[in-house]
Amino acid sequence: MKHLRPVNNKAKAIDESVNAQTAAMEQDVVALQQQVRPHVPMGCTLSFSPGWEVDAGGGTAGLCQPVERDIYDCYVTCFWPVQVPDHVNYSPDWASNCAAAARDWRSLDIIFP
Amino acid sequence: MTALLTHVYRSGEVHRFAAEGQDFIYLVSAGAIFALDGAVAQVLSMLDAQEMEHGALVQALVDAGQSHADAEDLVRELRLARVIVSDQTVAAPAPATPPVDYPLQALVLNITNQCNLACTYCYEFGADKIATPNGKPKYMTLDTAKASVDLLLAQSGGRPAVHITFFGGETLMNFPLLREVVAYATEQAGSSGRTITFSLTTNATLLTDEIIEFLAEKQIGVTVSMDGPQELQDKRRVYKSGKGSYAVIEPKLRKLIARHRSRAITARVTLTDGVTDVIRIFRHLKDDIGFHEVGFAPVTTSGTRDYSLSDDGMNSVLAQFHQLADEWLDYALKGWMHGFTNVSETIGELVQGTNKSHPCGAGLGLLGVSPSGDLSPCHRFTDADSHVMGHVSSGIDRAAQGEFLSKGHVGAKYACQSCWARPLCAGGCHHEAFVRYGDTGHANLHYCDWIREWTGRCLEIHGAISVKNPEFLEKFAQRKGLS
C-alpha cells in the first residue's frame, strides 16, 4: 500500500492482502463501470447487436438499429437463447415477409412446430 | 439500465493516535496498526465531518491537489483495508469462534487447595470465593495428575509443545507430587516426540534450597505472588496467626533469583486498599529483590470490601502506571527490557495484532484441574461446582465448554460492540465478571475506562518505538516467542 504503512504483524498481513487484491483489480475489465466513464456516443453501444440493450441515454430510441432487429440475432445466429423458430430445420421462411424489422415486424407470424 | 454501485463512504472503526509526530490508526476490526501519511489523515478528517459519495470524495482530493488516478488509488486502498467503509462494502466479520475441538495447549493443575497463608483478599478462600471444596480431596493424587497429563497430550492435537502450570492453594505444599508430575510428563511428551514446559505460582514461603535447585535444573518458570516491601506485603499476605510473611520469603527469593537463571522469575502484585504505592513496590521487587518482571492487578471483588481499591486509590495507581510506562519506553528506546509486565504483555499483543474472540484462553486452549480431577475453565474456577467442565477421567464436557465459550465470545457482549479496545480486552476476565456480575459472559464494565486509557497508552508506546527503534519490536516479539 502507498499511504498506509503497516507497523504490526496483523497490519502486514492486511498490506499483503490489499496489494494482491489491487493487482487483481488492475487486471480486471471494468468497461462502463470505470470512473470516469469512457465516452460513448449517443446511439452506440459496445455491442454491435443492439436491440435488447439501452442507449447511452438509458432508452431505446437512440439505438443505431431498432430493438426489433434483435429478433434476428435469436433467429438466425442463435445469439440469444429465447423461444424463436429454428430457421435451419423447420422454419427457414419465417422471416421472409419481414424485410425491415421496424416496419414489417407485424408480418412475423406465430408458428406451430 | 445498469445501476452503477455508488459508494457513500464513512470512516471505518478506527482509533487514531499520534506518537513522535507520526499519525497512526488502530484498525479495530482487525487489531492492525498503520502509520498514516497526510493524504489518509485528510480523507479521515473529511469523513469525520460528513459521509461522502465516491465521486465527491475523489473530487475533493483532486481539488486538494492530487491527480485523479492517485485519488482513486488512495480511496481504493482505504476501502480495501476497511479504513473507510460504505453500506456496499462487506462488513468486517467478528473474530471467529475457534472450533469446539480446538487443541489444548496448557493445563493449570491445582495440586492442592490448601494454603499456609490466609491472605484476606484471596479469591479462593476470601469473602468472594466461588469454590465449593467441602468433601473434595485437598491434595491431588498421582493418579489424577497422570490422568491430567494424559488428557493434555491426547487433546493437544498436533501441537509440538504443551505447557503445565502448577497452582494452588499453595503449590509447594504438594511439592512431592509436582516433582513426580514433571518426571512423568516429560517422559510421556518425549515418547510422542513433543516438548513440555512447566511453570508454577507460589507464595514462596516454602521454598528450600532443594526446591530451588529442582526448579532451576528443570527450567520451571516461577511466578511469586507478592505485594511489595515488608509493610505492604505484611498488610494482607499473612499467616493464619496474622503474622506477616515478608521476613520468611525475602531471603528465599534472593536465593531463588540468584540460582535460577533459566527462566524469567516474575512477581505478581495484588493492589488493594492501602497497597497502591506502585512505584515503590516496583522498585523494591525489581531493583532490590531482583525479579525480572513485575506485574500488577487490582484485587477482584464483588463490590465494596474493606480491601477494595477506592476510586482515588485507582487513580493514584493509574498515575503511577503511566510513570512506569514512561520508563518502559525510555528503556525500549535504548534497547533494554524494563520489566513492567503490564506494559510488556500489552505490547506483545500489539506487536502481533491480536484480535480476540475471547478475553483469554480459559476453556479454549487452557483448562484448570482441581485436586479431585474436575476440569474447569481456568484455575480461578477450581473446585466451583457451578463451573465444572468435565473430569480428567471422562474428558472435556463439550456441552459445558460450548456454553461457556458462546457466553464469553466478544460478539455476545453488547457493550463491547462500540468499544475500540475490544480486540485486546474482549470484555475482560471471565472470573472477575462472575464474581462481580454473577455471569461469566458479562463485560467487566467497571474497568472499561481504565482498559481504554491503558490500551491507548500502550499504543502510543508501540507507535513511538516503531518510529525511533523499530528493531526493538522485532527483538521483543522474538523474546516473547511471538514471531
Q: Sketch the domain layout of chain A as residue ranges.
A: 1-38, 41-113
B466 touches chain A (CB under 8 A): yes
pLDDT averaged per 10 residues in sequence order, chain B, 483 residues: 70 95 96 96 95 95 95 95 87 79 94 93 84 90 97 94 95 97 97 95 97 96 96 95 96 96 93 94 96 93 83 91 97 94 94 94 95 95 93 95 94 94 96 93 93 96 96 84 48
Cell 488428557, residue located: B151
Positive or negative CA dihedral for B60, B61, B67, B70?
negative
* Interchain contact, A9 vs B39, CB within 8 Å: no
Compare CB distances from B77 to A4, A6, A8 and report the shortest one's residue. A4
Determine the pLDDT at residue B51.
Answer: 95
Helices B54-63, B68-80: inter-axial angle, 10-degree rounding: 130
Which cell goes with B45? 478528517
Is the pLDDT assigned to residue A81 strictly greater than 60? Answer: no
* Interchain contact, A11 vs B33, CB within 8 Å: yes
Measured at the CA of B351, the angle between CA B466 and CA B300, to 5 degrees, comes to 120
Instruction: Write a three-state SS string for B436-456.
Output: HHCCCCCCCHHHHHHHHHHHH
User: Tens of pLDDT along A47-72?
Assistant: 555 445 667 777 777 776 667 766 66
ipTM of the complex, rounded to two decimals: 0.88
Positive or negative CA dihedral for B139, B142, B143, B149?
positive
Interfacial residues of A (vs B; Cβ cutoff 8 Å): 1-11, 13-14, 17-18, 21-22, 25, 32-33, 35-36, 54, 58
Is the Cβ–Cβ distance between B452 and B421 less than 8 Å? yes
> A8 to chain B: nearest residue by CA?
B351
Phi/psi for B196 (5° steps) reads: -135, 135
Please tell me which residue, B48 or A43, carries the higher pLDDT value.
B48
Determine the pLDDT at residue B163.
Answer: 96
Positive or negative CA dihedral for A39, A41, A42, A46?
negative
Determine the pLDDT at residue B41.
Answer: 95
Cβ contacts of B472 on chain A, cutoff 8 Å? none
B24 touches chain A (CB under 8 A): yes
Q: Closest Cα partner for B110 from B84, B133, B87? A: B133
Q: Which domains does chain B have, with CATH numbers?
A: 8-85 (3.90.930), 106-396 (3.20.20.70)
pTM: 0.83
Enumerate the H helices of chain A as residue ranges.
Answer: 9-26, 70-75, 101-104
* Interchain contact, B37 vs A54, CB within 8 Å: no
* Interchain contact, A14 vs B24, CB within 8 Å: no
Determine the pLDDT at residue B482.
Answer: 47
Where b means 16+ CB within 10 Å and e means fewer, B44-73 reads bebbeeeebebeebbeebeeeebeeebbbb
Q: Has A70 been annotated as catalytic?
A: yes
Distance CA B300, CA A39 (A): 69
B353 touches chain A (CB under 8 A): yes
B78 touches chain A (CB under 8 A): yes
Q: Closest Cα partner for B254 from B285, B295, B223, B229? A: B285
Q: Closest Cα partner for B461 from B12, B13, B24, B14? A: B24
Which class is domain A41-113?
Answer: few secondary structures
* Interchain contact, A6 vs B351, CB within 8 Å: no
Give A47's DSSP letter.
Answer: S
Task: Give residues with Cβ within 8 angstroms of B72, minimum separation 6.
Answer: A35, B58
B92 touches chain A (CB under 8 A): no
**pLDDT class for A91, splitting at 50, 70, 90?**
confident
Judge if the upstream peptide bond of residue A36 is cis by omega within 30 degrees of 0.
Answer: yes
Give A104→chain B minimum CA distance, Å.
Answer: 27
Q: For residue B408, which amino acid is it?
A: G
Give B380→chain A minimum CA distance, Å.
Answer: 31
Looking at A28, A70, A104, A109, which residue is catalytic? A70
Determine the pLDDT at residue A108.
Answer: 81
Distance CA B203, CA B206 (A): 8
Distance CA B468, CA B59 (A): 36
